[in-house]
């Protein structure tokens, strides 16, 4: 076997190449080669590898969603009312939720578990955030400009806290799960 041996890509029989998949040894052209942390691999090997790597089942996804919904509701209600403690408590809550999910799914890996958890946490907070805007509907009828000003400030705080909470919780949870 010489360096100059001509190989043809297994997926593109007309394309000459000198690359081989470092797992199965099949010749692959640069278009097919996928750069992985351990070197170039063919698409087939990468797919097999991922199937082994991501072992979570549908049940795991359901567990992840239910756990995140159940835990993020009390977390949201308590933490968004505690002022600046939000900076410590929200990331802690995110890590806590992620850890419970990981434990209950027995640390099986799911490619989209982090997304399910993040979506569940956001979904829990969303109704409360929208609810904060409800008084807006009654404002024109009842309000003096002063009241309107006070209302807008409190709305800004409520929504601001909710967004800050979400960023911190979801960020921490994703960091744990990915």
Consecutive H or E run containing 6: none
Cβ proximity to Zn ion: between 35 and 141 the closer is 35
Return the residue of 12, 66, 115, 132 that touches Zn ion, per CB under 5 A.
Answer: 12
Cβ proximity to Zn ion: between 23 and 109 the closer is 23
Q: From the CB of 54, what's the least distance to Zn ion, in Å?
A: 18
Determine contact, residues 60/70, Cβ cutoff 8 Å: no
Token duo for residue 58: 């549908």
Q: From the CB of 165, what's the least distance to Zn ion, in Å?
A: 45
Stretch that binds Zn ion, among 20-28, 59-67, 73-81, 85-93 (CB under 5 A): 20-28
Q: From the CB of 18, what's the least distance to Zn ion, in Å?
A: 13
Burial of 37: CB neighbours in 10 Å, binned 0-12, 13-18, 19+: exposed
Site for Zn ion in 95-124 (CB under 5 A): none
Instruction: Produce one character per residue of 107-141: b if its CB has 16 or more CB atoms within 10 Å, e if not.
Output: eebbeebbebbbbbbeebbeeebeebeeeeeeeee
* Tokens 């640390």 -> residue: 107
Cβ proximity to Zn ion: between 26 and 158 the closer is 26
Return the residue of 11, 48, 49, 158 that touches Zn ion, per CB under 5 A.
Answer: 11
Site for Zn ion in 21-60 (CB under 5 A): 21, 23-24, 29, 32, 42, 45
Instruction: Report the distance separating Cα 77 and Cα 88, nearest Å.
Output: 15
Stretch that binds Zn ion, among 7-15, 79-87, 117-125, 127-135 (CB under 5 A): 7-15
Determine contact, residues 146/95, Cβ cutoff 8 Å: no
Query: Using CB under 5 A as the criterion, which residues of the chain lie in contact with Zn ion when the complex forms?
Result: 9, 11-12, 21, 23-24, 29, 32, 42, 45
């Amino acid at each position: 076997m010489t360096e100059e041996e001509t190989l043809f890509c297994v997926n593109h029989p007309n394309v000459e190449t000198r690359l081989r998949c470092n797992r199965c040894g099949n010749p692959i052209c640069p278009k097919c080669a996928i750069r992985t942390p351990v070197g170039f691999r063919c698409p087939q090997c990468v797919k097999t590898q991922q199937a082994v790597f991501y072992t979570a089942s549908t049940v795991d996804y359901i567990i992840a969603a239910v756990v995140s919904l159940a835990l993020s509701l009390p977390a949201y209600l308590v933490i968004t009312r505690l002022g600046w403690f939000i900076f410590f408590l929200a990331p802690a809550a995110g890590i806590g939720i992620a850890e419970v999910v990981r434990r209950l799914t027995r640390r099986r890996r799911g490619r989209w578990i982090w997304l399910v958890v993040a979506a569940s946490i956001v979904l829990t907070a969303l109704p409360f955030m929208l609810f904060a805007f409800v008084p807006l509907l009654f404002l024109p009828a009842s309000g003096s400009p002063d009241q309107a000003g006070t209302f807008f400030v409190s709305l800004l705080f409520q929504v601001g806290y909710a967004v800050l909470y979400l960023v911190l919780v979801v960020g921490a949870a994703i960091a744990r799960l990915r």
